[in-house]
Every structure is written in structure tokens, then in C-alpha cells.
Amino acid sequence: MTNWNQILSDLKQSGQVFTIYLRYMQKDTLAKIRDVRVSEVFQDHVKLENESGFGILSFDDILYLSIPKR
């Protein structure tokens, strides 16, 4: 099982911007949230931030992350 807590904690520490893909479909494609940063990591969910604002996401809703090369 993926350790989202550790992965997202590492991303928070680095300040990396990434795209998060969700376990849901949106107009026949995977739903995604672009250009997010980790604000806070909790035991089973994460608080994300982008230019649109903040959001809370359960680890169960995460399919995968796309992290660009620096």
C-alpha cells in the first residue's frame, strides 16, 4: 500500500508543486488538481493549496501524483 503520509510530508518539506490525480472521472478523463502544494499532512488526509485556494483530500481519494522534474 502506498504511504501517502510519508510522500506528502516529503513534498511539503521540499515545497514542490505537483499535479494530483483522483480516483474519479471528469468528462471521460481522470479528475486532477494542478499546481498544488502541500499545506498540512494529517493521519488520513492532506490539506492542499493552489492559486484557487485550499482543499482537504482523503488519502483514499488519491490515485497518483505527477511531480515535474526540477
Which residues have C-beta within 8 Å of that of residue 13, sequence separation ≥ 6? none
Distance CA 39, CA 53 (A): 11
Average pLDDT over residues 52-69: 94
Tell me the mean pLDDT in the region 47-56. 95
pLDDT at 30: 84
Tens digit of pLDDT for each residue in 20-49? 999 887 778 888 999 999 999 999 999 999
- The structural domains of the chain, ordered by start, are 4-66 (2.30.30)
Confidence check: pLDDT of 53 > 90: yes
